[in-house]
Homo-oligomer: A and B are copies of this chain.
Amino acid sequence: MMEMALQQAEAAAKRGEVPVGAVLVHGPSGRVLASAGNRVEELKDATAHAEMLVLRAGAGTAEYRLSDCDLYVSLEPCPMCAAAISLARIRRLYFGAYDPKSGGVEHGARIFEQPTCHHRPEVVGGIEEARAASLLRDFFAARR
């Protein structure tokens, strides 16, 4: 599943978007409910992160409760996305590269560690970290 998230990230880079991809999976069945890359530039919407797009798409599938779903993201979610993951009651969060600059899970606001956080997913970070990180590095290097 992280492979699919990384492919979405690569596709996002080709569209000129910051290369982050996300996949929403129904845990028990392993069915992919939604996958997306960043669409911030395309939609001119600073909130159109890959995670928000798949959470919203998943919310529309009445058959599945998001509390049975897992989210795979190529990069540590920012505080907006981390808080959205909590609100949606996602079961497990798997992410790739750590993001000391803008992450909100292991850095900064550490959303899931707040006493006011009402749902904490299980979190596994650093999956295929090197590949996820080099995608981002290459993207920003090419822009300079």
Contact = CB atoms under 8 A, between A and B. Distances in A.
Integer count of this chain's copies in the complex: 2
A79 B84 CA distance: 9
Nearest to A108: B116
Size category of the A interface is 35 or more
A116 B102 contact: yes
Contact of A101 (B46, B62, B79, B116): B116
A73 interface: no
A66 B62 CA distance: 33
Interface in A93-144: 100-104, 107-111, 114-118
B44 A109 contact: no
Contact of A59 (B46, B52, B108): B46
